[in-house]
Amino acid sequence: MWENGIDIYSVRQIRLRTDLYFGVGAIEYFAEIADQLTARNITSVLVVTGHSSYKRTGAWEVVERILKERNIRYALYDKVTPNPTTVEADEATALGAAAGAQAVVAIGGGSPVDTGKSAAILLKHPGKTARELFSQGFTPTGAVPIVAINLTHGTGTEVNRFAVLTIPETEQKPVIAFDCIYPTWSIDDPALMTGLSQAQTRFVSIDAVNHVIEAATSKSTNPYAVMLGKDVIELVTRYLPIADKDPTDLTARYFLLYASMLAGLSFDNGLLHYTHALEHPLSALKPELAHGLGLAVLLPAVVQTIYPHQAAVLADLLKPMAPDLEGKPEEAHAAGKAVQAWLVRCGVPQKLSDVGFQKEDVEKLVDLTIHEPSLASLLEQAPGYANATSVAAIYMNSFLPLV
């Protein structure tokens, strides 16, 4: 196996739209990033993060030391929640603006990084709000530089142009995608992720799998997205059981993180569709619901729905989970059951009723999916023809296991 020849302690620069420092110990390379900030005459930054993981992982100790050594002032916003809102982005922006922040350093998983991306746009557009941004009230023309220090192996947001926030008053969870929020620099250090709980480890890895299943089967997919997807599912199915058993296994964390990064690139190219469009209303209504768990609840029904339209691609993609699939449309139910069985083996058997929803909620969920513009645009990418009927069917088929 090619992974055996990789020195996980050798930090490499992976040159994408983002300059990514990848490997065990990559956090120390924040010094190089800080030098580049100084070279751009940046003397003040906004740090956006959650309540505790930035300290618990040791990331902040390194970042704060290097900022102080370089005489770079910082304003710290550490109130980002697991399903962040436009209110949080506005608070962070106001703090950064008061401090004269010229760049954003986001530390955390998708929630802090997406909040930081949003603040980076708003710092460049004084007077605009996050609600306007996520309601398509204006189109940004730029953003201040973004540094993303990633603390999970799921979202891929550290290498792509997407961000997600909830608008509390409308119960909507839109997506934005702008080239200006590709992070300028990112850090992927597996050593920062050994403290993820067993549940978090499972959920973020399932997020990465969802990214590539959608990206490889969308109407905008390309061979690059599909090939990345094959690698992602092979790596996650191989290394998630190892990390699940031993959270401190750095090799497992390295390749789960690599898979997550590849998945971020895959959906940056192929986009997303059903599973993410339908999950966003779930976690908008129940902010305590982990995004990856919401995706896991929906995934078997989604695979069953899209398999007839993309049977050959999915049979190839799902080979590590379902080696007997032959790429025939009539295998749709078997494909959904195989994905469901894999989720159960991962310790994630939950269905919609287990995460607090009832069948009476489906009408509202469909409405939030269909009528939120950014989610409707995701549905346009779904194979076949996505409409209120197909969305409702996926929700309804997610209440009980496929049998």
Beta bridge partners of 188: 22, 150
Does 67 have pLDDT greater than 80? Answer: yes
Averaged pLDDT, 129-155: 97
The beta-strand segments (E) located in 283-332 are: none
pLDDT band, very low/low/confident/very high, at 300 (cuts 50, 70, 90): very high
Does 1 have pLDDT greater than 80? Answer: no
The confidence score (pLDDT) of residue 48 equals 98
Averaged pLDDT, 345-351: 98
Averaged pLDDT, 270-277: 97
Does 394 have pLDDT greater than 80? Answer: yes
pLDDT band, very low/low/confident/very high, at 119 (cuts 50, 70, 90): very high
Does 90 have pLDDT greater than 90? Answer: yes
Does the reported pTM lie above 0.95? Answer: yes
Helix axes 250-270, 198-217, angle to 10 degrees: 30
pLDDT band, very low/low/confident/very high, at 382 (cuts 50, 70, 90): very high
pLDDT digits (tens, 9 = 90+) for 186-228: 999 999 999 999 999 999 999 999 999 999 999 999 999 999 9
Residue 95 is encoded by which pair of tokens? 């703090």
pLDDT digits (tens, 9 = 90+) for 160-171: 999 999 999 999
For residues 196, 200, 203, 209, the Cα torsion angle rounded to the nearest 10 degrees is -10
Percent of the residues in the chain that have a pLDDT greater than 90, as a whole number: 97
Does 334 have pLDDT greater than 80? Answer: yes
Residue 111 is encoded by which pair of tokens? 């929630």
- How would you list the strands of the sheet with 146-150, edge to edge? 12-15, 19-22, 185-188, 146-150, 103-108, 44-50, 73-80
The confidence score (pLDDT) of residue 5 equals 87
Q: What structural domains does the chain harbor?
A: 8-193 (3.40.50.1970), 198-396 (1.20.1090.10)
pLDDT digits (tens, 9 = 90+) for 236-267: 999 999 999 999 999 999 999 999 999 999 99
Does 2 have pLDDT greater than 80? Answer: no
The confidence score (pLDDT) of residue 3 equals 82
The confidence score (pLDDT) of residue 15 equals 82
- Judge whether 231 and 259 are in contact, CB under 8 Å: yes
Does 120 have pLDDT greater than 80? Answer: yes
The confidence score (pLDDT) of residue 97 equals 98
Three-class SS state of 263: helix
Does 113 have pLDDT greater than 90? Answer: yes
CB-based contacts of 187, cutoff 8 Å, min separation 6:
20, 21, 26, 27, 29, 30, 33, 147, 148, 149, 150, 158
The confidence score (pLDDT) of residue 237 equals 98
Please state, rounded to an integer, the average pLDDT across all residues of the chain. 97
- Residue for token pair 């954003």: 104
Does 81 have pLDDT greater than 80? Answer: yes
Q: Could you tell me how far CA 15 lies from the centroid of its own chain?
A: 20
DSSP label at 15? Answer: E
